[in-house]
Amino acid sequence: DAGITQSPRYKITETGRQVTLMCHQTWSHSYMFWYRQDLGHGLRLIYYSAAADITDKGEVPDGYVVSRSKTENFPLTLESATRSQTSVYFCASLAGGSYNEQFFGPGTRLTVL
Amino acid sequence: GQNIDQPTEMTATEGAIVQINCTYQTSGFNGLFWYQQHAGEAPTFLSYNVLDGLEEKGRFSSFLSRSKGYSYLLLKELQMKDSASYLCAVLSSNTGKLIFGQGTTLQVKP
């Protein structure tokens, strides 16, 4: 099915563990974004990518790593999870040529114990 | 950098009209987006403005003034289901970043 999917939808992990959140889109959109959403902070940009093999830091990149070897995938890795990374993570994609289509994935709720 | 301001909360009555404002500062402007987000759900796209003026889409309209760094979302004939957060976001042409404001929580009362 066409769309943008995230996996897992829910994840509980422990401090210090590595966690990877997956994001997959089927539209071949050029841009992809990772956001975290916490009460009192709204949506904050972690990393974004303008195309395959092009990534850049957002507002809150520390503790996160991304890659984009294929246009359709944009995984986000927490190298050593901390409690402050407990949050809801949203992936989004945006068409490159016409910016008026932008879609969010369903989100991943991550809890770090 | 980019800075976006929206009111935190608003209340309106069912059937009425409400205007949610957004002011922004950005290094290079490549469009402004509005989203609706219900509690526990992902944001959903409402509108995109890149040129000055009003874009109408059913009960929702969005206005942009680039010279003033100002936009608003107008919701007409309010329904109870319109109770949600409304997010304003600006795309920078210089960096490619899409940055969000804090969001406006709208409560629609009977």
pLDDT of B74-105, one tens digit each? 999 999 999 999 999 999 888 888 999 999 99
How far is residue B69's CA from residue B4's CA, in Å, rounded to a whole number?
9
pLDDT at residue A97, as a whole number: 62
Q: Considering only the beta carbons, identify the residue of B31, B42, B97 that sits closest to A90.
A: B42
Tokens standing for residue B76: 């007409």
The DSSP secondary structure of A16-79, one letter per residue, reads T--EEEEEEESS--SEEEEEEEETTTEEEEEEEEEETTEEEE-SS-TTEEE--SSTTB--EEES
How far is residue A61's CA from residue A34's CA, in Å, rounded to a whole number?
10
Q: For the beta carbon of residue A97, count every other beta carbon within 10 angstroms.
A: 7
How far is residue B41's CA from residue B17's CA, in Å, rounded to a whole number?
24
Q: Which residues of A touch B96 (CB under 8 A)?
A: 31, 48, 50, 56
Q: Which residues of A touch B35 (CB under 8 A)?
A: 104
Residues B6-28 have a mean pLDDT of 96
Q: For the beta carbon of residue B87, count every other beta carbon within 10 angstroms.
A: 26
pLDDT tier at B2 (50, 70, 90 boundaries)? confident
**How do the pLDDT tens digits run along chain A, 113 residues long?**
569 999 999 999 999 999 999 999 998 898 999 999 998 778 999 999 999 999 999 999 999 999 999 999 999 999 999 999 999 999 999 886 666 678 899 999 999 99
Q: CA torsion sign, A27 to A29 to A33 to A39? A: negative
Which tens digit of pLDDT belongs to each residue from A87-100?
999 999 988 666 66
Which tens digit of pLDDT belongs to each residue from B36-77?
999 999 999 999 999 999 999 999 999 999 999 999 999 999
Q: For the beta carbon of residue B86, count every other beta carbon within 10 angstroms.
A: 25
β-bridge pairing B104-109 and B9-13: parallel
Q: Which residues of B touch A94 (CB under 8 A)?
A: 91, 98
